[in-house]
Amino acid sequence: MTTEGGHPAYRILDAGTRAFWRTVGRRIDLDGADSWLRGPAADAGVIGPSWLDAAAASVSGSVERHPDNGLLPDLAVLDGPDFCVADVDPLVRDFYEHTGAWTMDAWSSWSPVFHPGGMLIEHLFGRRLQQLALPVQPLDVSHGIDSEIVAIRDAGGAQVWAAWLRRLRRTGQFLFSGAYAVRTLPGSAQPSVHVTFPLEKGNVQVFLRPHVRADGALLLSSGRGSHGADGAYVLVHGAGSVGWAARVPIHESFTLYRDERGELRTDHELRVGRARALRLHYRMRRGKVGQDEASDSILTSR
């Protein structure tokens, strides 16, 4: 744990935050009807990759590092009434199934209204815990971002989660570490992409519904439905399988497409309610670049 993270004031802040979500959330049973909300959590202190071994142990499995690991072992696991993998651009499919073999450049643009809030969250939680640390200053990522996909497999060797670890090259500080999987929500026949960001004694989860555009682009979006539908949730663990979950009015959309030059790109938008808070744009390239070339590959502007 860092000195800053171990300060009594921050421990009180973290405990108070969990108490707030228990108050506004609904009581759930992760071994019962609410098992769709089961996802990795972390212990106290810096998050980073600290949760990987515990996540593997929870499925009696192991952690596997390989440069060709993908967020999903096969995009066809998303096939359903609203999605058919055969319609997806092969380049988009390759990115999801072999994510570790790709390099990403990124640009971001904050809404002036939400930028101060992003800075506050990044300072109080993101930088200290090294999780959900949205880059809010142009120089934060000026030396580039390193990315790694780590497979978490069960005892039979099947991939249960793919951990996507992203950190600043200059400092080694983690920005995000998320567990990616596929989950079919209650009452739905369409599988969704399930992303879990572990936190101390809980997590933030996002469920994204897939669609395919006529040109083969992949659309992933979290909706504005009620509890049990695609969207964003904050979960706090209690004793045993008991927990509390609150649906939050944060909505995301991703569009992965091949541009007119044949390059793979992604438009990512984050909204709070109906107001746009953050826009990101990514360019993805097959293969890893050298450190000198990659040092300027991640650009951020406001």
3-state secondary structure at position 89: coil
Q: Are 69 and 52 in contact (CB under 8 A)?
A: no
Classify residue 281: in a domain, yes or no. Answer: yes
Q: Are 174 and 133 in contact (CB under 8 A)?
A: yes
Q: Which domain holds residue 90?
A: 3-294
Query: In a structure prediction context, what are the per-residue pLDDT tens digits for the chain, which is 302 residues long?
Result: 334 456 778 788 888 989 999 999 999 999 999 999 999 999 877 788 889 999 999 999 999 999 999 999 999 999 999 999 999 999 999 999 999 999 887 777 888 998 888 878 777 777 778 787 776 765 665 566 678 999 999 999 999 999 999 877 677 778 788 999 999 999 999 999 999 999 999 999 999 999 999 999 999 999 888 899 999 999 999 988 999 999 999 999 999 999 999 999 999 999 999 999 988 888 888 887 553 343 333 333 33
Measured in degrees and rounded to the nearest 5, phi and psi for residue 102 equal -110, 150
- Neighbour count for residue 17 (Cβ, 10 Å): 17
Q: Are 218 and 212 in contact (CB under 8 A)?
A: yes
Q: Are 82 and 210 in contact (CB under 8 A)?
A: yes
Classify residue 183: in a domain, yes or no. Answer: yes
DSSP characters over 223-237: ----TTSSEEEEEEE
Total domains in the fold of the chain: 1
Measured in degrees and rounded to the nearest 5, phi and psi for residue 268 equal -125, 130
Classify residue 196: in a domain, yes or no. Answer: yes
- Neighbour count for residue 247 (Cβ, 10 Å): 18
Classify residue 140: in a domain, yes or no. Answer: yes
Classify residue 301: in a domain, yes or no. Answer: no
Q: Are 24 and 171 in contact (CB under 8 A)?
A: no
User: What is the distance between the alpha carbons of residues 210 and 220, in angstroms, rounded to a whole number?
Assistant: 5
Classify residue 300: in a domain, yes or no. Answer: no
